[in-house]
Homo-oligomer: A and B are copies of this chain.
Amino acid sequence: MADPVLSVPLFIELLDLLGTAAFAATGAFKAVEHKSDIVGIIVLASITGVAGGMLRDMIFGRIPPVAIANPLYVAITIGMAIAIFFLYKSFKQYEGIVLMFDAVGLGVFTVIGASFAYGVYGLNFLAMAFAGIVTAVGGGILRDVFVNEIPIVFVKELYASASFVGVVAFFGMLAAGVSVNLAAIPCIALVTGLRMLAMRYNWNLPRPKV
List residues of chain B with CB within 8 A of the CB of A42. 160
Q: Is the CB of B145 within 8 A of A154?
A: no
Q: Is the CB of B145 within 8 A of A146?
A: yes
Partner of A38, one of B127, B130, B205, B209: B205
Nearest B-chain residue to A71, judged by Cβ? B126
Given contacts A64-B60, A68-B60, A74-B126, is CB(A154)–CB(B208) below 8 Å?
Answer: no
Stoichiometry, copies per complex: 3
A40-78 CB contacts (< 8 Å) to partner B: 40-44, 54, 58-61, 63-65, 68, 71, 74
Q: Is the CB of B43 within 8 A of A208?
A: no
Interface size counted on chain A using CB atoms at 8 A: 58
Given contacts A54-B59, A155-B34, is CB(A39)–CB(B160) below 8 Å?
Answer: yes
Interface residues, chain A, CB within 8 Å of chain B?
31-44, 54, 58-61, 63-65, 68, 71, 74, 85-86, 88-89, 126-127, 130, 133, 137, 141, 145-151, 153-155, 157-161, 164, 204-210
